[in-house]
């Protein structure tokens, strides 16, 4: 296959430069974008109801337009799913991204308008590649294939003809520019398969003999695929299978807990990692510099950003040009997919303002504050990463929930962790995890001080496949689905522990039967 990297650089360098210029004129560009979005949607039902035609500035928009969560938007979106026109966005929308639900429904369905796909998702992906190439002059990623791990169009809706609902990645693959298919594996037929149990071996078979140059997907799911490729080929390193592999474009979950596992099956000298911040609602950020965790918040992907201080959720949102470095904020977006002042559920830590850079702090509903400790996902990820590095443990997945004080016993955090490599001393691992979490979060440290108020955390070892089994039971097993890291109640943890007990009992029964036979 010819190497088209050199030819691609010319176009992609222009993409990179356009984004940098947009960031240099952040306020003007954001105000102009908001005006264009309001003008375009003024005659939609939602636009008429909220007086978009009369809004002339951001200040008027902020004053008149309330924050709108999915519970508010659900009736509008479901009418769009059923074929309605000119509701949240002009015309008829035929594609929707299905993602985790809210308290008012099992799933959310995010409109994927033609504008949001072209100016948002595909534009963000193009900038990610452009940014990677800008900082890596030795790259040859277009000399072979990009292995994209996607989802499917599986859903539980009765849909009108021509409407598709499924994972975001399924729509992106389904509607991708045909030219991109020259550089992509697997085939659409395999990429869009619904049953993960059938899809995994097909992915392994389709990729094992290809000249893979880059990977794109969620770290936890891709790790399963890569291990399948190694087993299929008998290789010990993925670079023995794909000697030209150079980069993993990853996103969706924190990479830290998985880094050592990737390093164990790749050549560290040849493998690079490039983080993206994208979701069903839009493409928001790309790693700013090699080897750094900060991501530049993109100003050229058709998203108007607002921020709510995480310490005061009732505070008025502020625009991107007013955020402060070091602040943690919940992110709101307005975009060409018909979402207006919409809370995407993420909190971000602002690490710089010129350009505007962030790291993901966690989810607005994924935290533990049962005892005043205010533990966020990034605290838990960092503590777990430190404990794994110190003990040689490797983690497949995890979740954490509070155990409330009862009968004179102090409350504590309970961790359910599925290991691919267990620590040799689980008690020592738990103590190290607890101390690492104290080092990451001063509020947790204060509550743990002197072992007076909060007891040490406990670790339950997850049975093999417990998280996959739980995802399957919820209908969410697949390449884009994720286990909630932190929950402030025990609803999910109790389901998982019950399943964990059953799997352990089944394994013990099998072991006993095998022993009796032998």
- Residue 384 and residue 359 in one domain: no
Q: At which of 347, 363, 379 does a domain end?
A: 363
User: Are 140 and 3 contacting, i.e. CB atoms less than 8 angstroms apart?
Assistant: yes
Position 105 pLDDT exceeds 60: no
With a cut of 90, say whether residue 9 has pLDDT above it: yes
In this structure, the answer to whether residues 54 and 150 fall within a common structural domain is: yes
Among residues 343, 363, 383, the one where a domain terminates is 363
User: Phi and psi at residue 318, in whole multiples of 5°?
Assistant: -120, 155
d(CA 362, CA 329): 10
pLDDT at 156: 81
Mean pLDDT across the stretch 207-219? Answer: 95
| DSSP class per residue in 307-336 | EEETT-TTSPPEEGGG--TT-EEEEEEEET
pLDDT of residue 362: 78
Where in the sequence is the domain holding 391, given as residue range(s)? 367-517
Mean pLDDT of the chain: 92
With cut-offs at 50, 70 and 90, classify the pLDDT of residue 516: very low
pLDDT of residue 99: 80
Tens digits of per-residue pLDDT, 264-298? 999 999 999 999 999 999 999 999 999 999 999 99
For 471-509, b/e burial (b = at least 16 CB within 10 A) is beeeebbbbbbebbbbbeebebbeebbebbeebeeeeee
Give the pLDDT band (50/70/90) at residue 511: low
Q: Is the pLDDT of residue 305 over 80?
A: yes
Do 383 and 310 share a domain, yes or no? no
Range 189-218 average pLDDT: 94
Domain of 456, CATH number, reads 3.30.300
What is the tens place of the pLDDT at every residue in 394-453? 999 999 999 986 666 788 999 999 999 999 999 999 999 999 999 998 778 878 987 777
Do 172 and 237 belong to one domain? yes
* Percent of the residues in the chain that have a pLDDT greater than 70, as a whole number: 94
pTM for the complete prediction?
A: 0.79
pLDDT digits (tens, 9 = 90+) for 250-271: 997 778 767 888 999 999 999 9
Output the pLDDT for position 311.
87
356, 372: one domain: no
Is residue 94 a contact partner of residue 164, using CB atoms and an 8 Å limit?
A: yes
DSSP state of 56: -
Partners of 329 in the beta sheet? 309, 348
Question: Do 386 and 404 share a structural domain?
Answer: yes
- Determine the pLDDT at residue 253: 73
Residue 388 has pLDDT above 60, yes or no: yes
Whether the per-residue pLDDT at 147 is higher than 90: the answer is: yes
Q: Region 25-43: what's the mean pLDDT? A: 98
CATH of the domain at 354: 3.40.50.12780
How many folded domains does the chain comprise? 2
One domain for residues 318 and 430:
no
> To 5 degrees, how large is the angle CA 133–CA 134–CA 140?
25
> 513 and 433: one domain?
yes
User: What would the mean pLDDT of 350-364 be, rounded to a whole number?
Assistant: 92
| Residue 357 shares a structural domain with residue 371 | no
**227 with 252: CB under 8 angstroms?**
no
Whether residues 237 and 321 share a domain: the answer is yes
Residue 501 shares a structural domain with residue 513: yes
Q: Determine the pLDDT at residue 235.
A: 97
Q: Which residues are paired to 164 by β-bridges? A: 95
Reply yes or no on whether the pLDDT at 469 is more than 60: yes
Same domain? 335 vs 460: no
Q: What is the mean pLDDT of residues 206-233?
A: 93
- Confidence band of 103 (pLDDT split at 50, 70, 90): very low
Last residue of a domain, one of 314, 348, 363: 363
Report the pLDDT averaged over residues 43-61: 98
């Amino acid at each position: 296959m010819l190497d088209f990297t050199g030819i691609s650089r010319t176009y992609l360098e222009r993409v990179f430069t356009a984004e940098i210029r947009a960031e240099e004129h952040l306020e003007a560009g954001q105000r102009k974008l908001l005006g264009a979005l309001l003008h375009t949607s003024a005659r939609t039902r939602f636009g008429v109801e909220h007086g978009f035609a009369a809004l002339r500035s951001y200040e008027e928009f902020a004053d008149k337009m309330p924050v709108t969560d999915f519970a508010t938007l659900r009736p509008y979106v479901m009418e769009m799913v059923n074929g309605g026109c000119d509701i949240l966005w002009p015309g008829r929308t035929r594609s929707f991204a299905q993602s985790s639900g809210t308290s008012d429904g099992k799933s959310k369905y995010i409109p994927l308008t033609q504008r949001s796909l072209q100016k948002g998702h595909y534009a963000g992906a193009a900038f990610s590649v452009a940014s990677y190439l800008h900082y890596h002059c030795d790259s040859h990623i277009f000399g072979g294939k990009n292995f994209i791990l996607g989802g499917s169009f599986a859903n539980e809706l009765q849909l009108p003809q021509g409407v598709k609902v499924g994972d975001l990645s399924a729509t992106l693959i389904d509607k991708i520019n045909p030219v991109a298919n020259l550089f992509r594996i697997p085939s659409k037929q395999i990429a869009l398969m619904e049953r993960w149990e059938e899809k995994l071996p097909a992915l392994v078979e389709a990729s094992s003999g290809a000249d893979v140059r880059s990977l794109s997907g969620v770290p936890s799911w891709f790790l399963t695929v890569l291990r399948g490729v190694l087993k299929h080929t008998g290789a010990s390193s993925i670079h023995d299978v794909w000697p030209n592999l150079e980069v993993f474009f990853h996103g969706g979950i924190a990479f830290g807990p998985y880094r050592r596992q990737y390093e164990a099956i790749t050549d560290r000298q040849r493998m690079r990692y490039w983080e993206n911040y994208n979701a069903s609602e839009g493409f928001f950020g790309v790693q700013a510099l090699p080897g750094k965790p900060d991501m530049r918040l993109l100003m050229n992907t058709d998203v108007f950003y607002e921020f709510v201080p995480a310490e005061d959720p009732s505070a008025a949102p502020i625009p991107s040009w007013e955020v402060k470095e070091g602040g943690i904020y919940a992110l709101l977006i307005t975009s060409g997919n018909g979402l207006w002042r919409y809370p995407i559920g993420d909190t971000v830590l602002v690490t710089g303002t010129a350009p505007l850079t962030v790291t993901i702090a966690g989810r607005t509903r994924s935290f533990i504050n049962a005892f005043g400790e205010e533990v966020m996902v990034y605290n838990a990820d960092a503590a777990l990463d430190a404990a794994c590095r110190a003990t040689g443990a490797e983690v497949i997945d995890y979740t954490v929930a509070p155990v409330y004080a009862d009968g004179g016993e102090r409350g504590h955090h309970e961790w359910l962790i599925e290991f691919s490599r267990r620590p040799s001393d689980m008690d020592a691992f738990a103590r190290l995890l607890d101390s690492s979490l104290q080092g990451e979060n001063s509020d947790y440290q204060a509550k743990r001080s002197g072992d007076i108020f909060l007891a040490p955390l406990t670790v339950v070892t997850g049975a093999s496949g417990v998280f996959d089994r739980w995802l399957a039971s919820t209908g969410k097993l697949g390449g884009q689905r994720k286990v909630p890291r932190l929950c402030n109640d025990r609803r999910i943890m109790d389901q998982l522990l019950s399943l964990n007990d059953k799997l352990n009992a089944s394994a013990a029964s099998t072991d006993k039967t095998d022993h009796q036979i032998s």
